[in-house]
Chain A
């Protein structure tokens, strides 16, 4: 069965600290992977996506993610967190012609 797990329900970091949000997936076909961000009261916005090629992908707002097939992971990273990064982050997996499967989300809080 297709599934996405985000082990951390809630993470708190200090502004300026580095960040890593974990995402693991179980998917039968070649996965296409996505990270979305949702600010309070807003819809979901795409941060970055991986289809093929270089396993380290760059996204908007200074985020990057690394696809590790051997670990079935697609962790999201940012070297220095800003207060405006406080939001909910969703990992998703899909493939051509198939619906996405979204993870449960990780809520990020940023301390001043």
Chain B
């Protein structure tokens, strides 16, 4: 079991470009959570998804950010028209049905740098 896989590990984008971050949950896990860690801050919840459904997006910025978890394939966190302030580490976690935060497994994260 490869665990939660995130790619790329590092991503550099120029201001105004789009960033796509991918997360493949652990085998058997159907719940995906995205977190963002800004420099000098703790991890902040962004969005919680199940297959083809967004369950809680209360932590997502209102503009430019979107997330999906299709029936097939990884979960995608998409940031349009990136700005310098989007530079951060983005972590994905997955859990099995009904385990929620108790059964979290984290990926290694994607470090986004906007230049």
Say whether A associates with B: no
Task: Give the B-binding residues of A (Cβ under 8 A).
Answer: none
Task: Give the A-binding residues of B (Cβ under 8 A).
Answer: none
